Chain A
């Protein structure tokens, strides 16, 4: 059976990377063979997973440290877009010559790490590679912040359009006769304007890259199609991670719109850093009249406690409203998970595992 794919999306600073790692850890502790792929080069994630360094290749997380009899496994990886792109080209190229022509192209070298959408597309490529070849039951993907994650949903289609042979005609052989007569006049103008704006050498280098790429285009296109299918597979779930903050919520809803318009399977909302109301109301009368401090100091101290409780109540009320707003805006019956705000930093495996109860089970 093929692996389930769980993709965590959300705006920056909502704790997406931590939530992705905690979900993956939970499922591994429950016995599944899990991989977590992160895009965010956060050194601390490696620390909290008790591995020295995250790389483009799987690193085994020592979950037996917290559960000696664990039967599941957890691998963690961090995307290296350039290495993934190089690997893909080496795999798809029909000959060593084509590989070298692409890898040594100046535009490729310049762009493969930072090409618009390349990072996002390579995340998908890596995911597909792990999905096809990895021994995993579940793959959890941590994505870049929302607006970038959008690129990432569009990446396969965008790459396809870009690699479309039409572009080659326009750039490499704009004047060549073909089935494009009606457009030729325009294409020459496009080519001229581009050269005028970007410079002749640059346009030539870009054209040479696309020309070399033509040889692996079919293989590339097929991969892009597979990714699109994988993203839309009912066995794939997109989890929207947010905090109760309005800006994070807006981003989550924005993303939900995109998911729905692209018919990508939505798995539910994970609301991180949620504060629940204090179980008891506290007023000055609830506290001792006198204490071990001089009267004035004691009053001030008691007032601080009462204020702290009130502040928490107010926050909890705002958070409850935030959850209601999201429930009303989201699809009817959408699953919700509330992850309580952590007072301390999640700095090791035990701390990550402490979130388990609040997170979705592997059956989602």
Chain B
């Protein structure tokens, strides 16, 4: 079963590796394939709209492209959503949850914030229009690895804490959906650098039984190979250095750094193939002039081509 057929795709990785850009590219590709897709950001983050040049943001789904929506989940909005669903009375929600005692209490229940956000994801998965699923795919832009792990584990932790009652039954349903590898896939985003890569491998190991849901690793911002080989560079370097121009030393240094990074990338790819038993897709580093708007169509095409090539299971 391909990752393209999963209902829920949870994307995580170390901070700064480009999780949101990958979510946007993946979402765009899926939407272009005809799937109604929503990218759900968590913890109130709103990085997706600017990538598509949009300004609006919020808890309600906002259209980005044909068949592609995005929304930003906050624990507060998700709690209200849940409680109102459970108690059916908005006024009761306000009485019980919006007072000075309950606020801190709700904050103190371990894992509740994370579980409730995943509860919203579960709702999106269940949501129907005219007997058809509203969303074919829900992409979750999850928090960075450390917190991401806590979040994925939250429904199970809540089950352990409550042991019975409506909250127990609720988180159990959420847990079952998110724990089912046929429904849910986890995508790990990383960079071809030592630290992010190490964190990704540690994350995978700490996932324990959850590893069966990891369907894909995306090695992001891979620099293109130079069009010359190391031997050609070695004999050319001294010729360049003997040439009299003040900018040459810097130019040579830049190429050396590039070659060094390309070597590091190859090592990273080897490490992944040895230590992460999941398919890996590489996304090329894109030079662009506006950091807020990466060339998302190019990335979606590249990712789509790699996935269509059967890189994914």
Contact = CB atoms under 8 A, between A and B. Distances in A.
A33 interface: no
Contacts of B96: 189-190, 193
Interface string A320-359: 0010000000000000000000011100000000000000
Given A300-B227, A311-B287, A345-B194, A287 B255 contact: no
A243 B16 contact: yes
B88 interface: no
Contact of A248 (B16, B102, B157): B16
Interface string B147-174: 1001000000100111111111000000
Contacts of B104: 158, 161-162, 164, 167
A343 B113 contact: no
B251 interface: yes
A201 B198 CA distance: 41
Contact of A116 (B15, B86, B112): B112
Given A189-B95, A287-B245, A293-B235, A247 B20 contact: yes
A309 B15 contact: no
Interface in A123-146: 145
Contacts of A247: 20, 47
Interface in B216-259: 226-228, 232-233, 235-236, 239-240, 243, 245-248, 250-252, 254-255, 257-258
A149 to B, nearest CB: 12
B271 to A, nearest CB: 14
B210 interface: no
Contacts of B235: 292-293
B240 A288 contact: yes
A147 B44 contact: yes
B228 A297 contact: yes
A314 B100 CA distance: 52
Interface string A243-269: 111111000000000000000000000
A198 B260 contact: no
A309 B254 contact: yes
B175 interface: no
Interface stretch (A11-19, A58-66, A83-91): A11-19
Contacts of A198: 109, 162, 165, 167
A117 B150 CA distance: 13
A186 B45 CA distance: 34
Contacts of A13: 14-17, 144, 196
A170 interface: yes
Given A247-B47, A301-B228, A44 B198 contact: yes
Contacts of B100: 161, 166
Contacts of A12: 14-16, 144
A241 to B, nearest CB: 12
Majority secondary structure, A binding face = helix
B16 A245 contact: yes
Majority secondary structure, B binding face = helix
Contact of A309 (B160, B162, B250): B250
Contacts of B292: 246
B166 A286 contact: no
B43 interface: yes
Nearest to A13: B16
B255 A304 contact: yes
B161 to A, nearest CB: 6
A199 B167 contact: yes
A223 interface: no
A14 B15 contact: yes
Contacts of A162: 104-105, 107-108
B147 to A, nearest CB: 7
B108 A115 contact: yes
Interface in A191-208: 193, 195-202
Interface in A29-45: 40-44
B309 interface: no
Nearest to B20: A247
B247 A11 contact: no
B195 interface: yes
A41 B291 CA distance: 30
A265 B79 CA distance: 34
Interface stretch (A67-75, A225-233, A275-283): A275-283
A194 to B, nearest CB: 8
A312 interface: yes
B110 A148 contact: no
Given A12-B16, A279-B247, A291 B239 contact: yes
A245 B291 contact: yes
A309 B251 contact: yes
B150 A114 contact: yes
B236 A287 contact: no
Given A286-B247, A300-B227, A301-B232, 18 more contacts: A12-B15, A43-B198, A110-B110, A110-B160, A110-B161, A114-B157, A115-B110, A162-B104, A193-B92, A197-B86, A245-B291, A278-B251, A287-B245, A288-B239, A288-B243, A305-B254, A322-B291, A345-B193
10 contacts: A114-B157, A116-B109, A145-B15, A166-B100, A190-B99, A195-B165, A197-B165, A247-B20, A301-B228, A309-B254
Interface of B: 14-17, 20, 43-45, 47, 50, 86-87, 92, 95-96, 99-105, 107-113, 144, 146-147, 150, 157, 160-168, 193-196, 198-199, 226-228, 232-233, 235-236, 239-240, 243, 245-248, 250-252, 254-255, 257-258, 260, 287, 289, 291-292
